[in-house]
Amino acid sequence: MKIKVAQFGLGPIGIETLKLAATKPWIEIVGGVDIDPAKIGKSLTEVTGIKGLEKRKIYSSFDALCKNVKPHLVLHTAVSRMKTVVPQLEPIVKAGVSVVSSCEELLFPQLKNPALAKKFDALCRKHGARVLGTGVNPGFVMDTLAICLTGVCRSVEKIEVERVVNASLRREPLQRKIGSGLPPDEFRKLFKEEKMGHVGLVESIALIAHVLGWKIGAINETCEPMIAPKKIKTAFLEVPKGLCCGIHHRAEASDSQKILTLDLKMYLDAKDPRDAVKITGDPAINAILHGGVHGDRATVAALVNAVPVVLKAPAGLLLMTDIPVPRVG
């Protein structure tokens, strides 16, 4: 039997997620949800260009979708924060429908919102639904990958994860999200207001510590703008010399002598993009993915590949380490 899947959020990532899902013979796409009045009522084919979805419509809410067809699972690509995502997911969970979401704070929701996470987990269990937050980062390269690598270690004293991303190759919303073109002080202000920058780095460090059983104290987080050394032009925007062209985001935590460090540089025209995990332990590990993992394409794959393993998991608010390792299928 095919898995009936609906897409919640039809921005760039949502559309690409649908395109990949449509290639899977084990998925049946049954509809979409979006708040954009220009998309509501249209077919998924009209919005995505995917042939064969002419009869699959876009609805203004999950409840409106369910009046026509009930999916087994919803792919959710809409918001980044826990307090915003829960109201969106509650009607889905109450219908007994599972969710795989790109919401960054869902990677480890217990960090910033433990009470809300506990309440939402109970709601999931009550209605037999599963909810997972995943993606490429957070979700894989700066957390799950490092955790997997510790599986061949006798002991671990220190984990250092570095990610360098050439944001010039990424979608326009991400280029703007990292502050491209803003004065440095304006970026710093917007980051403090949670209106700019990367979300999920502290959740990544918290997930690693949780799984390894490390009792870390406060997480030290910094995020500084990267400054354009010259005028930079991408397919979407132009940044004059001296303005923000990206971010240098860092998080650190420790448990006595054990140390966790996550270092993310995401900026336009970044040199030597890579994903690297260095483990100080027995044995020591120094793994480098040259070129790095393409964020947009990998996020879409992470969402779709998680679908079958999530549906086999126990009901509840899941962590990446609660499910088998997803794989392409």
Q: What is the pLDDT of residues 201-253, one digit of tens each?
A: 999 999 999 999 999 999 999 999 999 999 999 999 999 999 999 999 999 99
- On whether both 35 and 103 belong to a single domain, the answer is yes
- On whether both 148 and 270 belong to a single domain, the answer is yes
What pLDDT is recorded for position 121?
Answer: 98
- On whether both 184 and 118 belong to a single domain, the answer is no
26-30, long-range: CB < 8 A, 24+ apart: 26/2, 26/308, 26/329, 27/2, 27/3, 27/304, 27/307, 28/2, 28/3, 28/4, 29/5, 29/53, 29/56, 30/4, 30/5, 30/6, 30/56, 30/65, 30/69, 30/71
- By CB atoms closer than 10 A (0-12, 13-18, 19+), residue 112 is middle
Of 71, 140, 128, nearest in space to 102 by CA: 140
CB 83 within 8 A of CB 111: no
For residue 222, the cross-strand partners are 250
CB 134 within 8 A of CB 100: yes
Residues of the chain with pLDDT under 50: none
- On whether both 187 and 130 belong to a single domain, the answer is no
- On whether both 176 and 243 belong to a single domain, the answer is yes
- Domain annotation covers residue 328: no
What pLDDT is recorded for position 81?
Answer: 95
Domain CATH code at residue 23: 3.40.50.720
- On whether both 45 and 149 belong to a single domain, the answer is no
- On whether both 217 and 126 belong to a single domain, the answer is no
3 state DSSP class of 261: strand
Tell me how far apart the alpha carbons of residues 162 and 165 are, in angstroms, rounded to a whole number. Answer: 10
Q: Are strands 316-318 and 130-133 parallel, antiparallel or unpaired?
A: parallel
Tell me how far apart the alpha carbons of residues 310 and 307 are, in angstroms, rounded to a whole number. Answer: 5
- Domain annotation covers residue 329: no
- On whether both 131 and 159 belong to a single domain, the answer is no
- What sign does the dihedral 232-237-241-243 (CA atoms) show? negative
- On whether both 191 and 304 belong to a single domain, the answer is no
Tokens of 112: 């910033």
What pLDDT is recorded for position 329?
Answer: 84
CB 221 within 8 A of CB 250: yes
Question: What predicted TM-score, i.e. pTM, was given to this entire model?
Answer: 0.94
CB 27 within 8 A of CB 6: no
Tell me how far apart the alpha carbons of residues 26 and 4 are, in angstroms, rounded to a whole number. Answer: 9
- Domain annotation covers residue 232: yes
Query: Helix-strand-coil percent breakdown of the chain, rounded to 5?
Result: 35, 30, 40
- On whether both 282 and 154 belong to a single domain, the answer is yes
Measured distance between the N- and C-terminal CA atoms of the chain, rounded to whole angstroms = 15
Tokens of 246: 């990206």
- Domain annotation covers residue 177: yes
What pLDDT is recorded for position 296?
Answer: 86
* Count of domains forming the chain: 2
Of 99, 128, 82, nearest in space to 7 by CA: 99
User: Nearest 5°: phi and psi at 240?
Assistant: -70, 155
- On whether both 175 and 252 belong to a single domain, the answer is yes
- Domain annotation covers residue 202: yes
What pLDDT is recorded for position 155?
Answer: 97
- Domain annotation covers residue 327: no
- Domain annotation covers residue 151: yes
Tell me how far apart the alpha carbons of residues 329 and 134 are, in angstroms, rounded to a whole number. Answer: 17
- Domain annotation covers residue 132: yes
What pLDDT is recorded for position 134?
Answer: 98
Domain CATH code at residue 283: 3.30.360
What pLDDT is recorded for position 276?
Answer: 98
Give the domain extent around 53: 3-136+297-322
- On whether both 92 and 61 belong to a single domain, the answer is yes
